[in-house]
């Protein structure tokens, strides 16, 4: 019976974090247009769907050009044995979404993820009567707004995300700056390493070092010695060890680059732990 249930379960091509967010657009960029996509409640749901085999891939945000890193994504990458296999960059444009017939002048609350609210601060300055409210499941909140029947409530989402609903767009392009963009990762269970010979590759690693003066400087020295471009560095707290940190690095270099391998192995010898989270083609902004 268990085998029958497993065989009957649909396997989706990708999992994303709800409708109304840019994960759907990112999935269309990263995967075939006819891919089956499942929407999940929160980032934990996306990672869980990939981890248990419900979806082959997950599409998760990692960094916004205005508000910085999605820290939860970094933490979930560490907690799960999954691999980054691709990335893409989406230009971000938000709209205020409400019930059909609702009027902007009557809106009193707008719901969105805290990082989305941070990208729309000028809109709230121009409309002080609208209270920004933080939520962590945009898809569920859109349904709450549409099903609640309250014309004073709205949510912030993408206009394309409203096409599958009966929602109304109350204000267009409410993000603070036109160059607002978010980088998304395509994650999967560990797969074969890439073999394309191109310099436009990233290798993402996470490591932990001893907590002593000069340790981080020594950890980064191999990349300087081997002329490796460190595109990004991010620190996250070590759970259970207050004021100690893990460090995430995005490294630029060809997939078969011997200098890259040497630098990473030199770091591995001095680190308390080191894990390669993925090696994948570097996205170009367009």
Percent of the chain with pLDDT over 70: 86
Element (H, E) at 126: helix 121-126
Whether 192 has a pLDDT exceeding 60, the answer reads: no
- Counting the structural domains of the chain, the total is 3
The listed range with the strongest mean pLDDT (36-45, 143-152, 241-250) is: 241-250
- Whether 195 is in a domain gets the answer no
Structure-model confidence comparison of residues 196 and 80, the more confident one: 80
Share of the chain above pLDDT 90, in %: 55
76 and 153: one domain? no
Assess if residue 176 is contained within a domain: no
CATH number at residue 130: 3.40.190.10
Query: Catalytic pick from 182, 204, 207, 247?
Result: 182
Residue 270: Cβ within 10 Å count: 15
- What is the arithmetic mean of pLDDT over 221-227? 94
Given the residues 47, 184, 207, 223, select the one marked as catalytic. 184
* Owning domain of residue 49: 2-91+181-188
Q: Are residues 82 and 99 in the same domain?
A: no
Mean pLDDT rounded to a whole number for the chain = 86
- The reply to whether 267 falls in a domain is yes
The Cα 153–Cα 161 span in angstroms is 18
Pair (140, 85) in one structural domain: no
- On whether both 228 and 148 belong to a single domain, the answer is no
Given a cut of 60, is residue 4 above it in pLDDT? no
Choice among 71-85, 90-104, 118-132 with the minimum mean pLDDT: 90-104
Is residue 11 annotated as part of the catalytic site, yes or no?
Answer: no
Please give the pLDDT value at position 199: 58
Convert the pLDDT of each residue in 81-108 to its tens digit: 999 999 999 988 889 999 988 999 999 9
Structural contact between residues 176 and 119, judged by C-beta atoms closer than 8 angstroms: yes
CATH number, domain with residue 243: 3.30.70.260
pTM check: above 0.85: no
- For the cut 70, the answer to whether the pLDDT of residue 52 exceeds it is yes
Residue 104 lies in a domain: yes
Whether 124 is catalytic: no
Q: Does residue 19 sit in the same domain as residue 87? A: yes
Any domain includes 196:
no
Residues 66 and 78 in one domain: yes
Q: How many CA atoms lie within 13 A of 224 on its CB side?
A: 6
The answer, yes or no, to whether residue 10 has pLDDT greater than 70, is no
- Among 144, 162, 188, give the residue marking a domain's end: 188
Determine the Cα–Cα distance for residues 233 and 256; give it in Å rounded to an integer: 22
The pLDDT value given to residue 161: 62
Residue 270 has pLDDT above 90, yes or no: yes
């Amino acid at each position: 019976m268990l085998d029958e249930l497993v065989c009957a379960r649909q396997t989706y091509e990708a999992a994303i974090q709800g409708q109304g967010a840019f994960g759907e657009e990112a999935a269309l960029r990263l995967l075939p247009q006819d891919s089956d996509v499942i929407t999940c409640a929160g980032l934990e749901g996306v990672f869980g769907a990939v981890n248990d085999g419900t979806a082959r891939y997950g599409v998760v945000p990692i960094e916004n050009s205005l508000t910085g890193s999605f820290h939860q994504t970094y933490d979930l990458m560490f907690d799960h044995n999954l691999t980054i296999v691709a990335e893409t960059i989406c230009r971000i444009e938000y709209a205020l979404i409400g019930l059909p017939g609702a009027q902007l002048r009557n809106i009193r609350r707008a719901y969105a993820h805290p990082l989305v609210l941070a990208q729309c601060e000028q809109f709230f300055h121009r409309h002080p009567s609208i209270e920004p409210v933080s939520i962590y499941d945009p898809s569920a909140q859109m349904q709450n707004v549409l099903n609640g029947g309250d014309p004073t409530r709205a949510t912030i989402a993408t206009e394309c995300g409203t096409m599958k609903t009966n929602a109304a767009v109350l204000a267009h392009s409410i993000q603070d700056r036109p160059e607002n963009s978010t980088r998304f990762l395509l994650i999967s269970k560990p797969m074969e390493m890439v073999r394309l010979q191109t310099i436009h590759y990233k290798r993402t690693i996470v490591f932990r070092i001893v907590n002593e003066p000069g340790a981080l400087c020594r950890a980064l020295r191999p990349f300087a010695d081997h002329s490796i471009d460190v595109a990004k560095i991010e620190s996250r707290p070590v759970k259970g060890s207050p004021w100690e940190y893990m460090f995430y690095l995005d490294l630029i270099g060809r997939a078969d680059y011997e200098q890259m391998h040497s630098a990473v192995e030199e770091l591995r010898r001095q680190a308390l732990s080191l894990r390669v989270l993925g090696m994948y083609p570097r996205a170009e902004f367009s």
